[in-house]
């Protein structure tokens, strides 16, 4: 566990001092800092023009909303909490009615360990959950929870700069940036619980016998924990940024022409624009708005940097009164309607900021160049070990990609002294992969060629935990002493080489990998092997990509 502690200390130090600066937003403008900036402009006409913008829902809706909420902060907080409560109650009722797991399986394992908090986090995208065989894996990045909160707490919690409700909590952007660099996964294994043991009850009945059967071991155990930290990431370019938006545009236009396009998927941008429309409707319907904005601008333009924020705050109740008054044909909104409209915008504004960050994280940010990963492995029939891994990835020119791995694996406890050559150091690994984009081949379509070489130096022999009375699944060992608790194999160096041709591209969703690999031995078996693999894969997630991406 000492290695785990060391790694946690290292990660915390990264959070305090990010090694590579991603986009920082310490200078995010607020309505108040913008007001002070305007008051310092010596050009009177420009000052007036900028102040008019700040009071116009068409151009500075966030500042108008902040002004409307300002004197009613506690009422706003109560309303938001009530809305969240109502929303979560509806969600729980729906979840109870449908009783479907996000992992899409029978979820027998998930139900054992999935708490409401984990379900909630999974539901709102803070973590992803997947099940493969007897193993369930929960994974995500550390910014997942604050992002989910920002997207679903209706403006009560947001990234600083996107919170319009005074008194709400915000997390500085640099924290989001640092947390987004750390990903994790936790795998839970149910295999030990599936082992059965029994005791006989009563006398045999003919050739049959009644038994009491119990499971042995814990029903769920953590089999692997992985933490990955991005150490070096190239800065995002404007070209990357706009390319992703262009792709989004193409996906949306094809989705809108598709009869299967889902209308129920929420578009945070559209939600924000609709919230603005409501407020524009109130502003356009207020007959005294034009004269009010002229008077308000005249009073603000005289204020200096020290007074302007106070003067602006005083306009809050006036603005609400002008909007509520409406026009000769139609009365304006009630106080409650106006507050609800302002809160809806504040909620949409925070939700849009969360969507922007998620879109950036998934579509616009360049791939990391250097990452450090830590794996805590707790296989059921081997001593637990820790692996520290450096992962390097770099594109070279337009067609080549180089990936390199280096890792050290250590046992978490001292191996038995009766195993010759065994020490804390389990093995040292290195691997390199070179990918070449072959472009589009005649008849075959897009193709990628890939060559991989992996080397492992086994410092200690591979060890298996055994129980002669309960043989490990799939392993038969004859002549094992009845008191044996561990077996070990002959140590040595492992060399693995593979060449692969992958037909089909990420764009086509189909892939046809053809591979040939050779290894001189494996961890347990000391004979060399040749293997050939051929397969077909289809990315079923692509069927949902149109709807999930349109959520941006």
Partner 1 sequence: MCLLTPTPNPSVFNASPGTLTVEIVPKTGNVAFVPPNCDVTDGSAHSVNPTKTPTTVSFKVVAGQSYHLRLLFDIFPLSSTGTLQEQCSGNTAIDQITQLSNPEVYTIVA
Which residues in this chain contact partner 1 in the complex, by CB under 8 A? 23-31, 34, 49, 52-53, 56, 58-63, 159, 161-162, 173, 177, 236, 238, 241-242, 245-246, 248-249, 252-253, 267, 269-270, 272-273, 276, 280, 349, 352-353, 356-357, 359-360, 364
DSSP state at residue 288: T
Least separation in angstroms between residue 384's CB and partner 1 is: 41
The H or E element that residue 113 is part of is: helix 108-113
Distance CA 511, CA 535 (A): 8
Q: Which is nearer to partner 1, 361 or 509 (CB)?
A: 361
Q: How far is the CB of 290 from partner 1 (least distance, A)?
A: 8
Instruction: State the nearest-atom distance from the C-beta of 356 to partner 1, in Å.
Output: 5
Nearer to partner 1 by Cβ, of 192 and 269: the residue is 269
The overall longest dimension of the chain from CA atoms, in Å, is 106
Contacts of 511 (CB under 8 A, 6+ apart): 502, 503, 504, 536, 537, 538, 539
Q: How large is the angle between the packed helices 335-359 and 57-69, nearest 10 degrees?
A: 110
Task: Give the H or E element holding residue 132.
Answer: strand 128-132
Query: From the CB of 229, what's the least distance to partner 1, in Å?
Result: 20
Name which of 64, 65, 69, 88 is nearest 149 in CA terms. 88
In whole angstroms, how far apart are CA 142 and each of 79, 125, 173, 175, 228?
29, 12, 14, 10, 10
Q: Which of 288, 277, 294 is nearest to 49 (CA)?
A: 294
- Which C-beta is closer to partner 1: that of 308 or that of 387? 308
Buried b (16+ CB within 10 A) or exposed e, 319-345: bbebbbebeeeeebbeeeebbbbbbbb
- Shortest distance, CB of residue 244 to partner 1, whole angstroms? 9
In this complex, which beta carbon is closest to partner 1, that of residue 64 or of residue 502?
64
- As a whole number of angstroms, the distance between CA 325 and CA 334 comes to 9
Residue nearer to partner 1 on the CB measure, 26 or 199: 26
C-beta of 67 vs 502, nearer to partner 1: 67
The distance of closest approach from Cβ of residue 74 to partner 1 in the complex, given in angstroms and rounded to an integer, is 24
Please state the closest distance from residue 31 (CB atom) to partner 1, in A.
6
CB 468 within 8 A of CB 489: no
| Minimum separation from the CB atom of position 246 to partner 1 (A) | 6
CB of 260 to partner 1, least distance (A): 18
Instruction: Please identify, using beta-carbon distances, which residue of 171 and 496 lies nearer to partner 1.
Output: 171
Cβ at position 248, least distance to partner 1 in Å: 7
C-beta of 267 vs 433, nearer to partner 1:
267
Q: Measured from the CB atom, is 181 or 357 closer to partner 1?
A: 357
Within 8 A by CB and 6+ apart from 166, the residues are: 66, 69, 70, 73
Could you give the residue ranges of the DSSP H alpha helices within 377-493? none
Closer of 164 and 376 to partner 1 (Cβ): 164
Q: How many CA atoms lie within 13 A of 145 on its CB side?
A: 10
Contact 136, 130 (CB under 8 A): yes
**Total length of the chain:** 552
At its nearest, how many Å lie between partner 1 and the CB of residue 75? Answer: 23
Cβ(38)–Cβ(47) below 8 Å: yes
Asked whether the beta carbons of 449 and 416 are under 8 A apart, the reply is: no
Are the C-beta atoms of 525 and 461 separated by less than 8 Å? no
Report the residue number, 263 or 417, with the smaller CB distance to partner 1. Answer: 263
């Amino acid at each position: 566990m000492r290695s785990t502690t060391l790694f946690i200390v290292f990660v915390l130090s990264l959070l305090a001092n990010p090694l590579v600066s991603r986009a920082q937003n310490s200078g995010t403008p607020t309505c108040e800092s913008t007001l002070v900036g305007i008051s310092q402009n010596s050009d009177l006409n420009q000052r007036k023009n900028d102040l008019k913008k700040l009071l116009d829902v068409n151009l500075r809706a966030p500042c108008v909303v902040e002004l409307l909420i300002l004197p009613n902060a506690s009422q706003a907080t109560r309303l938001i909490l009530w809305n969240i409560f109502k929303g979560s109650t509806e969600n729980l009722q729906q979840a109870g009615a449908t009783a479907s797991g996000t992992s899409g399986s029978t979820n027998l394992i998930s139900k054992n360990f999935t708490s409401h908090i984990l379900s909630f986090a999974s539901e709102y995208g803070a973590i992803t959950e997947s099940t493969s065989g007897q193993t369930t894996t929960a994974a995500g990045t550390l910014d997942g929870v604050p992002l989910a909160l920002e997207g679903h707490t209706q403006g009560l919690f947001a990234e600083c700069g996107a919170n319009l409700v005074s008194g709400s909590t915000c997390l500085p952007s640099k924290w989001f940036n640092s947390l987004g660099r750390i990903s994790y996964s936790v795998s839970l294994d149910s295999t030990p619980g599936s082992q059965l043991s029994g005791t006989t009850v009563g006398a045999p009945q003919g050739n049959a016998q009644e038994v009491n059967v119990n499971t042995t071991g814990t029903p769920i155990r953590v089999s692997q924990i992985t933490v990955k930290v991005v150490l070096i990431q190239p800065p995002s370019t404007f070209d990357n940024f706009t390319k992703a938006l262009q792709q989004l545009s193409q996906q949306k236009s094809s989705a809108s022409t598709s009869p299967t396009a889902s209308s129920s998927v929420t578009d945070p941008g559209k939600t924000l624009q609709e919230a603005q429309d409501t407020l524009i409707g109130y502003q356009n319907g207020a007959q005294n708005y034009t004269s009010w904005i002229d008077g308000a601008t005249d009073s603000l333009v005289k204020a200096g940097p020290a007074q302007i924020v106070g003067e602006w705050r005083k306009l809050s109740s006036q603005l609400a009164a002008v909007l509520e008054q409406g026009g000769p044909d139609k009365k304006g909104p009630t106080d409650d309607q106006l507050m609800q409209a302002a809160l809806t915008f504040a909620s949409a504004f925070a939700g849009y900021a969360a969507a922007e960050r998620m879109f950036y994280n998934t579509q616009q940010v360049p791939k990391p160049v250097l990452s450090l990963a830590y794996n805590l492995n707790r296989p059921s029939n081997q001593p637990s070990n820790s692996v520290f891994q450096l992962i390097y990835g770099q594109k070279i020119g337009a067609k080549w990609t180089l990936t390199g791995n280096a890792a050290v694996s250590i046992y978490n406890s001292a191996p038995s002294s009766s195993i010759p050559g065994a020490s804390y150091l389990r093995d040292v690994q290195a691997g390199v992969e070179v990918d070449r984009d072959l472009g589009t081949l005649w008849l075959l379509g897009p193709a990628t060629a890939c060559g991989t070489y992996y080397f492992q130096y086994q410092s200690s022999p591979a060890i298996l935990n055994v129980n002669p009375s309960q043989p490990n699944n799939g392993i038969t060992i004859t002549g094992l002493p009845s008191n044996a608790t561990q077996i070990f194999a002959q140590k040595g160096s492992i060399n693995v080489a593979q060449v692969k041709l992958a037909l089909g591209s990420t764009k086509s969703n189909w892939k046809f990998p053809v591979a040939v690999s050779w290894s001189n031995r494996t961890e347990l078996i000391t004979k060399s092997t040749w293997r050939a693999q051929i397969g077909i894969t289809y990315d079923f997630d692509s069927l949902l990509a149109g709807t999930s991406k349109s959520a941006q």
